[in-house]
Amino acid sequence: MAQNIYDDPDFFAGYSQLPRQVEGLDGAPEWPAIRAMLPELSGRRVADLGCGFGWASRWMRDRGAASVLGFDLSQNMIARARADTRDPAIEYRIADLDTLDLPEASFDLVYSALTFHYVRDFDRLVRMIHAALVPGGALVFTIEHPIFMAAAHPHWISDEDGRRTWPVNGYSIEGERRTNWFADGVLKYHRTLGTTLNTLIGAGFEPRCVEEFAPTPEQIEQMPALAEEMERPMMLLVSACRH
Amino acid sequence: MAQNIYDDPDFFAGYSQLPRQVEGLDGAPEWPAIRAMLPELSGRRVADLGCGFGWASRWMRDRGAASVLGFDLSQNMIARARADTRDPAIEYRIADLDTLDLPEASFDLVYSALTFHYVRDFDRLVRMIHAALVPGGALVFTIEHPIFMAAAHPHWISDEDGRRTWPVNGYSIEGERRTNWFADGVLKYHRTLGTTLNTLIGAGFEPRCVEEFAPTPEQIEQMPALAEEMERPMMLLVSACRH
């Protein structure tokens, strides 16, 4: 069973105040880049793995998805997601991605935002998703970037010119990383970018787009604090197509 | 015209003493990983872009390649490569990858080691290579990893525990990087991993394997100095297939 930090009251209290939880998709600077990677949604059957409060699930349904099935480990998240819709084509379930099995060839799109880095066995998950998609179906997901996750002490430092700099060590040593983020000892799994892509390819996916999220000049103008995201990527965005 | 640092006498004197130049492929720890990415060579027509002294060109011909055409900007390199073979199926030419045009549908494999990061217009190069390959042909190349290249001051630092750590900044700011490596001001071009892969995909390649080179436990046992390569990847190895 995966660690369920999202139902820790202290964690949840802090997490719920993040701009992306309060404002929804517009509070996530990477959302325009994700949206550009999504296929046409009209009539499509979608699974949203790690759906949280359901912001993306509802957005995809609003864009014409025939059905959206959202999964999250957190009872808090699923309770609020359920409270926020009465649409019978949107269904939310509590599930652990370390053990979830979806029915075969049942989805046109599997979407996941900032969740797969909590999953221990990425290969199992990716093979399950491949089987759950119809041929030609798409997998679009975001994770914390391995550059962001790798180091023993992942926080800003300064270089000799005083420039904001990110430390990397242990990059090729995959596995558990513990960080303190709204709670102590949040458990994540570091994988190299190569492992992430080769796992997809090995399962029968063809990578279509790999984005290491960086803000646009317009985004930086509107929110100058985003400029530091040019120094190192925090998020990796991937779209892949099932053969 | 690309910077031709390899014909700078001081640079060439130092560079020629690198283990990989003295010992050839066995002096390059990433060579076993590259070899695993190469297709069957028997009867294949190969282009080797940035062939240097021709170590890989000769190896591929020894493995049955029908012909190998090696290109390098450096007159020093090409002169020595030519001196090291009498095989009429191996030919070496001086060429600048910023302007090289290969004949269409003429190669089964395009190979390049540690050269493309000197190329200013990667998109032009990749589209030219795509056209030069037959359908089903392969592109296998290595470059300096963008994690290794990005920072303004790319050298080892220590984290708060004294651990060897690599600084990253400017990752999403692509373009020129100048380093001092056997000579001052060696000019390279930094591109994100996403840009490298999306350029391949956009030109009609399908990525088949993406390796961020790390030594095996056996390699570290034989050469303990390689252990630091686990901390951050220095090289990116990519194989892709022409649709």
User: How do residues A161-209 score in pLDDT, each as one tens digit?
Assistant: 999 999 999 999 999 999 888 888 889 999 999 999 999 999 999 999 9
Question: Token pair of A217, please?
Answer: 């000049």
Q: Which amino acid is at B213?
A: F
In a domain, A48, yes or no: no
Does any CB of chain B come closer than 8 Å to the CB of residue A197?
Answer: yes
Average pLDDT, chain B: 96
Question: Which residues of chain A lie closer than 8 angstroms to B193, CB-CB?
Answer: 193, 210, 212
Q: Phi and psi for B27 in degrees, rounded to 5?
A: -85, 0
A104: confidence class by pLDDT, cuts 50, 70, 90: very high
Question: Which residues of chain B lie closer than 8 angstroms to A193, CB-CB?
Answer: 193, 210, 212
In a domain, A47, yes or no: no
Closest chain A residue to B155, measured at CA: A159
In a domain, A49, yes or no: no
Does any CB of chain B come closer than 8 Å to the CB of residue A18?
Answer: no
Question: Which residues of chain A lie closer than 8 angstroms to B172, CB-CB?
Answer: 212, 214, 229-231, 233
Tally of structural domains, chain B = 1
A43: left (phi over 0), alpha (psi -120 to 50) or beta: left
In a domain, B155, yes or no: yes
**Cβ atoms A78, A57 nearer than 8 A:** no
In a domain, B136, yes or no: yes
The pLDDT of residue B236: 98
Asked if the model's pLDDT at residue B196 lies above 90, the reply is: yes
pLDDT tens track for B22-48: 888 988 999 999 999 999 999 999 999
In a domain, B7, yes or no: no
Q: Which residue has the higher pLDDT, B146 or B22?
A: B146
The pLDDT of residue B26: 87
The pLDDT of residue B21: 84
Which residues constitute the domain of residue A215?
5-13+31-36+55-242
In a domain, B21, yes or no: no
How far is the CA of A129 from the CAs of A107, A132, A133, B124, in angstroms? 9, 5, 6, 36
CA distance A192 to A198: 10
Q: Do B172 and A198 touch (CB under 8 A)?
A: no
Asked if the model's pLDDT at residue A134 lies above 70, the reply is: yes
Does any CB of chain A come closer than 8 Å to the CB of residue B209?
Answer: yes
Question: Which residues of chain A lie closer than 8 angstroms to B210, CB-CB?
Answer: 193-194, 197-198
Q: Phi and psi for B241 in degrees, rounded to 5?
A: -120, 135
In a domain, B51, yes or no: no
The pLDDT of residue A1: 65
The pLDDT of residue B10: 86
B1: confidence class by pLDDT, cuts 50, 70, 90: low
pTM of the model: 0.96
Q: Do A172 and B208 touch (CB under 8 A)?
A: no
CATH number of B224's domain: 3.40.50.150
Mean pLDDT of A145-149: 98
**Cβ atoms A116, A143 nearer than 8 A:** yes
Q: A1: buried, middle or exposed (CB in 10 Å: 19+, 13-18, 0-12)?
A: exposed
**Cβ atoms A190, A146 nearer than 8 A:** yes
pLDDT tens track for A219-238: 999 999 999 999 999 999 99
**Cβ atoms B3, B187 nearer than 8 A:** yes
The pLDDT of residue A108: 98
